[in-house]
Amino acid sequence: MNQTRFNELHKRLGAKMVEFVGWEMPIEYKGIIDEHLAVRTRAGLFDVSHMGEVLVTGKDALAYVQWLTPNDVARLLPGQVQYTALMTPGSTFVDDMLVYCIEKPERYFLVVNAANVDKDFAWIAGHTQGFEVRVEDQSAAYSQVALQGPLAEKILQPLTDVDLAGMKSFWWARGKVAGVASLVSRTGYTGEDGFEVYTTDPEPGAIWTSIVEKGTPLGLLPIGLGARDTLRLEAKLMLYGNDISDKTTVLEADLKWIVKLQKGDFLGKPVIEKQLAEGLQRKLAGFELLDKGIARPHYPVFVNGRKVSEVCSGTFSPFLKKAIGLAYLPIEATAPGTEFEIGIRDKMAKAKVVPTPFYKRGDKK
Amino acid sequence: MYPSELHYTKDHEWIKVEGDEALIGITDFAQHQLGDIIFVEVPEVGKDLATHQSIGVVESVKSVSDIYSPVAGKVVAVNDALAQTADLLNKDPHGQGWIVRLKIKDRKELEGLMKASDYEKFLEGLES
């Protein structure tokens, strides 16, 4: 298994370690529910060093990233970040990702899911014909932490020369964090305010230990992958492999907002235009259970007694204290309030479609 | 460390004999492995259980685990408190976190179960 550069620190904090896509990662420390609620009410610190980083440079870098993705990269100024995807010609997903504009038009930093690093790098390096670009996989060099929660700025500001109060959501800046040269962005995967800190310093430990030292008296907890999943699901953030895949289109996944047709040509555009004209057959919908039980990935989903799909993501929401999830439903069954059924072991449990996200920053319990 | 009046199984259930009845639950090791428990599916009172038949299911945020009956018997009571406070299984797994009360079918089955000291040795073996 790979280990991040913070591995020893997790073990010292008593983390329960598991294997995740070839990495030894903390699944929980104090407990998923405590960790989840800490992020929603105070702050939490995540080691996300397993994520992948791909640098695209050259005179055609902007044009190339613009071709590979559905969102409009050209509107990004240096300092801005954008959520987007790598699309197949059929408008299904290779991965979802963040694009950081480092220099326009010649330097873009792509951050991709840990599970897909090799696949994504091969994809990004494999479509360059006709573009003068250089593609580098920098994943091994980077360590990354995420500090998320209402107290994130208060905890991080004393540790960095980056002006956090002046940093808007989905912007980034370079500076030092705990003395370590870093890139800091106001981004995250929890639905809360927060920051992600990237560094190529081979000894990034001070970033973790300083944030823990500064934050613990304010109620900060270290957070494992277990709570990372419950947090992102409440905020209806996608998980590749569960909610989006090479079998789901960008429109079916309810991600039309990342498609900017007016920006020009891109991989998958003709199919998206065709789907817009024809209409959708199915769409990703959020649901909550009405009967007792928890819906989990792959449980069968039934509409009017007929199996239509399987649960994509599902868990017990620690904040809402109810069982929630996502599934692809026939388009006529996706209106909020629509009731359907999920097979949980040998019983059928009633569920209903609800608007998403399940949780928005600032919601009170 | 583990209560000496209980007997234990390799699947981390405990059983407490009280006359010709027994209480069954999951051990501290099991609750720790599962994490925060949110939901327990219990059988109906009156159900006949075979040895090692699934009593029900314990769900934590991230996992689902079957619980198996260490012995055969008839369910005479289930712990209703678990419907409201499933985390009793985390807080007091050997006491208030009991799951079912069975009328034991064959007392001889108890002989195959582990004593507290055997269970502790078994756990040590798992960790190595």
Q: What is the pLDDT of residues A137-193, one digit of tens each?
A: 999 999 999 999 999 999 999 999 999 999 999 999 999 999 999 999 999 999 999
Degrees to nearest 5, angle at CA A114 with A183 and A314 = 115
Q: Which structural domain range is residue B78 located in?
A: 7-105+114-123
Residues of chain A positioned with their CB less than 8 A from the CB of B39: 292-294, 316
**Planar angle of CA A42, A46, A48, nearest 5 degrees:** 150
Q: What is the pLDDT of residue A236?
A: 97
Q: Which of A31, A293, A318 sits opposite B39 (nearest CB)?
A: A293
**What is the mean predicted confidence (pLDDT) over A246-262?**
97
CB B27 within 8 A of CB B70: no
In one-letter notation, the amino acid at residue A9 is L
Q: What is the DSSP letter of A76?
A: P
Non-local CB neighbours of A92 within 8 Å, separated by 6+ positions: A245, A246, A247, A248, A249, A250, A268
> Which residue from B minimizes the CA distance to A33?
B36
Asked if residue B54 belongs to a domain, the reply is yes
The closest CB to that of B64, out of A32, A296, A318, belongs to A296
Nearest CA in chain B to A226: B62
Q: Give the model's pLDDT for residue A71.
A: 98
User: Mind listing the pLDDT tens digit for each residue in A30-44?
Assistant: 999 999 999 999 999
Nearest-Cα distance to chain A for B115, in Å, is: 28
* Out of A230, A292, A293, closest to residue B61 by CB: A230
CA distance B107 to chain A (A): 31
Q: Evaluate whether A315 touches A327 at the Cβ level (below 8 Å).
A: no
Helix (H, G, I), strand (E, B) or coil at A115: helix
Q: What is the pLDDT of residue B128?
A: 58
Are A294 and B64 a contacting pair at CB < 8 A?
A: yes
The per-residue pLDDT for A210 is: 98
Number of neighbours of residue A19 by Cβ within 10 angstroms:
11
Please say whether the structural domain A52-140 has been given the CATH code 3.30.70.1400: yes
Instruction: State the nearest Cα–Cα gap between A16 and chain B, in angstroms.
Output: 9
Question: Where residue A364 falls among pLDDT bands split at 50, 70, 90?
Answer: confident
Q: What is the pLDDT of residue A307?
A: 98
Provide the β-strand partners of residue B21: B18, B103
Low-confidence ranges of chain B (pLDDT < 70): 128
Q: In this structure, what are the phi and psi dihedrals at residue A361, rounded to the nearest 5 degrees?
A: -50, 135
Contacts of A315 in chain B (CB under 8 A): 61-62
> Is A52-140's fold the same as A256-354's?
no
3-state secondary structure of A271: helix
Q: How far is CA A354 from the centre of its chain?
A: 21
Q: Say if B83 falls within a structural domain.
A: yes
Interface check for B66 against chain A (CB to CB < 8 A): the answer is: no
> What integer pLDDT is reported at residue A365 of this predicted model?
66
The C-alpha atoms of residue B59 and residue A97 are separated, in whole angstroms, by: 32
Give the start-to-end residue ranges of the domains of chain A: 2-48+142-234, 52-140, 256-354
Element (H, E) at A83: strand A81-87
> Does the residue B62 lie in any domain?
yes
Q: What is the pLDDT of residue A268?
A: 95
Q: Which residues of B touch A345 (CB under 8 A)?
A: 41, 57
- Determine, yes or no, domain membership for B1: no
How many domains is chain B built from? 1
In a domain, B2, yes or no: no
pLDDT in tens, A93-137: 999 999 999 999 999 999 999 999 999 999 999 999 999 999 999
- The answer as to whether B128 is a domain residue is no
Partners of A226 on chain B (C-beta within 8 Å) are 35, 61-62
Distance CA A357, CA A342 (A): 20
Query: Class for domain A2-48+142-234, per CATH?
Result: alpha beta
**Is pLDDT of A59 > 90?**
yes
Output the pTM of the full model: 0.91
What pLDDT is recorded for position A346? 86
Q: Look at residue B32 and tell me if it is in a domain.
A: yes
**In B, which residues are within 8 Å of A296 by CB distance?**
64
**What interhelical angle do A32-41 and A225-234 show, nearest 10?**
50
User: What tens digit of pLDDT does each residue of A318-339 get?
Assistant: 999 999 999 999 999 999 999 9
- Is CATH 2.40.30.110 what the domain over A256-354 is classified as, yes or no? yes
Q: How far is CA B22 from CA A82, B69, B103, in A?
A: 60, 11, 7
The tokens describing A11, both together, are: 């073990």
* pLDDT on residue A271: 96
Contact A191, A169 (CB under 8 A): no
Question: Going by DSSP bridges, is the β-strand pair A2-3/A23-28 parallel, antiparallel, or unpaired?
Answer: parallel
Tens digits of per-residue pLDDT, A199-216?
999 999 999 999 999 999
Per the listing, tokens 């010649």 go with A106
Mean pLDDT of chain A: 97
Closest chain B C-alpha to A320 CA, distance in angstroms: 13
**Is B49 inside a domain boundary?**
yes
Torsion of Cα atoms, B76 then B81 then B87 then B90, to 10° = -50
- B95: domain CATH number is 2.40.50.100
The pLDDT > 90 percentage for chain A reads 98
Q: Is A173 on the interface with B (CB under 8 A)?
A: no
Residue A24 C-alpha from the chain's centroid: 19
**Where residue A292 falls among pLDDT bands split at 50, 70, 90?**
confident
3-state secondary structure of A262: helix
Contacts of A27 in chain B (CB under 8 A): 62
